[in-house]
A and B are shown apart, each in its own frame.
Chain A
Amino acid sequence: MPTLGADMEAGTLVEWLVKPGDEVKRGQVVAVVETQKGAIEIEIWENGTVDRLVVETGRKVPVGEVLALLRAPGEAVAAAPVAQARRIEPTPRPEAAPPAPPRAAPAPGAPARARISPSARQLAGELGIDAQSVQPAEPGGVISRADVERAAAARKAAPAAAAKPAAPDWHAQMRTAIAAAMSRSKREIPHYYLATDIDVTVVTGWLAAENVKRGVAERLLPVVPLMKAVAVALREVPELNGFWVDGAFRPSAAVHLGMAIAMRGGGLVAPAIHDADRKSLDALMADLRDVTTRVRGGRLRGSEMSDPTITLSSLGEQGVEGVFGVIYPPQVAIVGLGKVTERAWAHQGTVAIRKVMTATLSADHRVSDGHRGGLFLAALARLLQEPEKLR
């Protein structure tokens, strides 16, 4: 069970997306885990073949517990003989999957794969049912919506046997998670706070002109160039980007920007936009849209939860001019961007109406000092004056 955030202690396995005999590739989503932050997709970080699923669905297990066993690619060659050998073993392991009745003949050599219609698979996900375990109407047949509905009705009829806890007060759980992380932050991290007002007239105008050239679907949100500028500015002050672990700072070469996203009905998460400093604005926009959609749908990946090296909290149009964030441990800084307002502003020797945004930095004084933090905000302000270079 991987850790999906500093505050996570345990997770409930909701669904296996692989089964023994399946080949898996690094980065593949293999399971879904219910956490205080909703359902998270778990990726695997080794190539190989699934040997055994140790934890069955519905169980809540602590971080660090073994969920499944893998065979390395080399071992996979012996897959078939091993399976046969196991069948004649005098003491069968209790955890071993019961021998599945043979379905329609699979391709020679390929492991048998339950045939589940796309709609049935989706419905099973919505109902929290392990689609692989649903019995089709006819032996060896395709598992359809009707089969899933029947399984759901059966589960309802026997609630005691229901594997998955009802996850009743999800919002309360998320509140608990946020409380734990923020209390730890304020207890352990000596924050210092900086703020600066940045003239964003140029970048605002540039973005408006850029969006006019684009179709509605390709337009960039105002926060996208800001994300890019924050990520690039971090290269100049690397001590804001990384983790405080075991009493020492571990800088991160990559900038994985955690975007604070409010959830419907309260609470928030800050999943990673990976390599934000090296991505184009279009790629950042696509990532932001993707991750926002999945936050609202409650499906993030484990790596997105644990990877952010710094958090960006952009209040956008919320009507607040400045935000001093609380650092999300083990990160060491959080950047806050307030709403853009028109202000009377000294500009080129006269007072002009300019668009101005207050940028703030909350940083960990164990790692960096105010002088370095100030350099970061100065770099951010400078980068935003030349938006065409942010591409």
Chain B
Amino acid sequence: MSEAPARIRTTYREALREALREALTRDPRVFLMGEDVGRYGGSYAVSKGLLAEFGEERIRDTPLSESAFVGAGIGAALNGMLPIVEVMTVNFSLLALDQIVNNAATIRHMSGGQFSIPLVIRMATGAGRQLAAQHSHSFEGWYAHIPGIRIVTPATLEDARGMLWTALLDPDPVIMFENALLYNLEGELAPDAGAVDIDRAAVRRAGEDLTLVTYGGSLGKTLEAAAQLAGQGVSAEVIDLRTLRPLDMPVVLGSLSKTHRMVIVDEGWKSGSLAAEIMARVMEEAFYDLDAPIARVCSAEVPIPYPKHLEDAAIPQVATIVESALRTAGRHG
């Protein structure tokens, strides 16, 4: 580590905006489109100020029709542009599922490789803001089921700043899930922070006794849990998946071969989930490394509730991660 030559105090939101600004400046084919991204500055204020800076041609407000403007993004990408489409929340993206799953994900294959769709779709995901069931779900695991699209989940300032440009360079569609609780995340970023890879999982904290696998909005909670576990004599390794499709299993399995125990923290529901997929792959590829059953900390199998206490109880929290980790490490019962 260098001795931090004037690291910049910033937020996840500002890092995303910096990434948008860089992309718009670097390549004239890049433009941003979505509901309220222009005059309003984005429903989470990520694109605030960009309309004045880049103009209406490149920061485009759209009608309230996810299917129409995601489809328009696909068409623009087919015709040589590098569109960034913002969808307010993953719940609303379901209106555009046909465009994403039947068109964006398939056209390369159906055209025999003749057409690429270098499209990036950004959307907010996750619960914790008392916005109730229609604005709070975590469907990134669903999208990770679909071949033909890459799913990335920036969970740090570096990834918020660096994933967008790399995603635009990918000739195939990339969906970037921004957990809405992260927008206000504050921290320091190197002044020269820039593009990062979108292939590899990252070990965010090294440990010996068990592996905590997570991504996105749960990373901060998991790191906090790991810190508490250290106080109780349990050394937890924390893996940030970063990319949910394709999964970087070598990093996950490499950690497991050291710790032999694993807890997966995923704000999605358990049933048919990304957490289930990781468990299945560990069974297939590393069964004999396991010293205890893999545990999962996921959301309760209910639509995310509105009342604060019920919402808190429904999604992974530091305390539930710690409890599950202690049990998996053999410290309880």
Contact = CB atoms under 8 A, between A and B. Distances in A.
Contacts of B292: 117, 142, 144
B330 A118 contact: no
Interface string B280-324: 000000011111100000000000000000000000000000000
A119 B282 CA distance: 13
B289 A119 contact: yes
B122 interface: no
A120 B260 CA distance: 10
A22 B330 CA distance: 29
A145 interface: yes
Interface string A97-131: 00000000000000000000111111000000000
Contacts of B260: 117, 119, 145
Contact of B290 (A117, A137, A146): A117
| Binding site secondary structure of chain A | helix
A81 to B, nearest CB: 35
Contact of B288 (A122, A137, A142, A146): A122
A144 B330 contact: yes
A119 B330 contact: no
B288 A121 contact: yes
B287 to A, nearest CB: 5
A242 B151 CA distance: 59
Interface string A201-240: 0000000000000000000000000000000000000000
A83 B288 CA distance: 34
Contacts of A144: 291-292, 330
Contacts of B287: 118
A118 B257 CA distance: 12
Contacts of A118: 287-291
B327 to A, nearest CB: 12
A126 B231 CA distance: 34
A228 B289 CA distance: 37
Contacts of A121: 288
Contacts of B290: 117-119
Nearest to B260: A119
Interface in B91-121: none
Interface string A132-145: 00000100001011
A145 to B, nearest CB: 5
Interface string B131-162: 00000000000000000000000000000000
Contacts of B330: 137, 144, 146
Nearest to B256: A119
A276 to B, nearest CB: 29
A220 B256 CA distance: 33
A126 to B, nearest CB: 10
Contacts of A120: 291
Contacts of A119: 260, 288-291
Interface in A144-184: 144-146
A258 B289 CA distance: 33
A117 B256 CA distance: 14
Contacts of B289: 118-119
Contacts of A146: 330
Nearest to A121: B288
Most chain B CB within a 10 A radius of its CB, from A118, A137, A145: A118
Nearest to B290: A118
B290 to A, nearest CB: 5
A326 to B, nearest CB: 39
A343 B290 CA distance: 55
Nearest to A125: B288
A122 B287 CA distance: 10
A121 to B, nearest CB: 7
Interface string A330-349: 00000000000000000000
Nearest to B283: A118
Most chain B CB within a 10 A radius of its CB, from A117, A121, A137: A117
Contacts of B291: 117-120, 144-145
A119 B287 CA distance: 8
Nearest to A144: B291
A122 to B, nearest CB: 4
B282 to A, nearest CB: 11
A120 B293 CA distance: 12
Contacts of A137: 330
A142 B287 CA distance: 16
A117 B330 CA distance: 12
A103 B260 CA distance: 24
A122 B288 CA distance: 6
A310 B289 CA distance: 39
A183 B111 CA distance: 67
A150 to B, nearest CB: 13
Interface string A223-266: 00000000000000000000000000000000000000000000
A49 B289 CA distance: 30
Interface string B251-274: 000000000100000000000000
B17 to A, nearest CB: 44
A304 B292 CA distance: 34
A293 to B, nearest CB: 15
A145 B209 CA distance: 12
A152 to B, nearest CB: 15
A137 B260 CA distance: 17
A144 B292 CA distance: 8
Nearest to B330: A144
A142 B288 CA distance: 15
A120 B290 CA distance: 8
Interface string A48-77: 000000000000000000000000000000
Contacts of B288: 118-119, 121-122
A142 B260 CA distance: 14
Nearest to A117: B291
A23 to B, nearest CB: 23
A145 B330 CA distance: 11
18 contacts: A117-B260, A117-B291, A117-B292, A118-B287, A118-B289, A118-B291, A119-B260, A119-B288, A119-B289, A119-B290, A120-B291, A122-B288, A144-B291, A144-B292, A144-B330, A145-B260, A145-B291, A146-B330
Interface of B: 260, 287-292, 330
Ordered nearest first, which 8 A-B pairs have the shortest CB separation?
A119-B291, A122-B288, A117-B291, A118-B288, A145-B291, A119-B260, A118-B290, A144-B291
Interface of A: 117-122, 137, 142, 144-146
Given A117-B290, A145-B260, 4 more contacts: A117-B260, A117-B291, A118-B291, A145-B291
